[in-house]
Structure 1
Amino acid sequence: MAESTLWWLLAGAAVAVELFTGTFYLLMLAVGMVAAALAAHAGADTTVQLVVAAMVGSASVIGWHLIKRRRAGDPSVRSLRSVNLDVGEILQIDEWQADGTATVKYRGAQWTVIQRPGNAPTPGSYRVAELVGNRLLVDKV
């Protein structure tokens, strides 16, 4: 069996496993294996093929990781108005407790309200940013 055939089979197997896992990193490694198969078709010896597979696969994985890291993450589902109709509602908070929480009557029930870390608890109007468990996370209006 030719060395290029072995590389093509390995690349195909990596793509097949990637379809089950959905990580996309295996697809980047498969790109390295394809590069090694092309190097084998060009007549490179086994050492060069291994170096090409390692370099191209590693560069692809690192490149994909850097691209994903630069992209902003998806917003929390808890903060989407289409999922939680409380998001965006305005609350009036008259008094904050020492532990950084407040209790408000909202929709006919008592709710515990928390603020984002680092904000000073001052009385006033607040907008519901998301629902965290059974607490409302609010931002100052």
Structure 2
Amino acid sequence: MFFKKKELEIVSPVKGKLISIKDVPDITFSEEMVGKGVAVIPEENELYSPVCGTVTTVFPTSHAIGLTTKDGIDILLHIGLDTVNLKGEGFDVKVKEGDEVKAGDLLVVADFEKIKLAGYRLETPVIICNPEQCKKLTYTKPQAVNKGDVIIKYLK
């Protein structure tokens, strides 16, 4: 008897506009140097976990969070572009390394107004850092998304 492998899902961390990673105006992301994924231009300040798993990294500057799913997929949520330069200003992280999270758990509250006023872009990449661990990746086409909408499906 054969069982069809179930596609696993990564959901949007925030309400906004889903765009192709190729359309992110930062070559580190658009040329997939960090990994494969998509980006969301956020319309709300609260960002939620796109997966169930463990918080593996909270960057000291609070602009990015690394998560690892139970099946070993490493996810990077990078809030805005070049926002490392804000040195944590405008980011209120609600989790710490080692925390177990479910998809939809609050990770960060970002002050996007402050981030924009400081001259930074809001595109928020959601990246699979070890895409070679996935047999197949499928991306949702660019569109308006709500928090929790599926943005990436993968087969492990």
Same fold (TM over 0.5): no
In our comparison, the structure showing a higher alpha carbon Rg is: 1
TM-score w.r.t. length of structure 1: 0.21
Q: Which has the higher contact order (CA 8 A, sep 6+)?
A: 2
The structure whose residues are more often helix, as a share, is 1
TM-score w.r.t. length of structure 2: 0.20
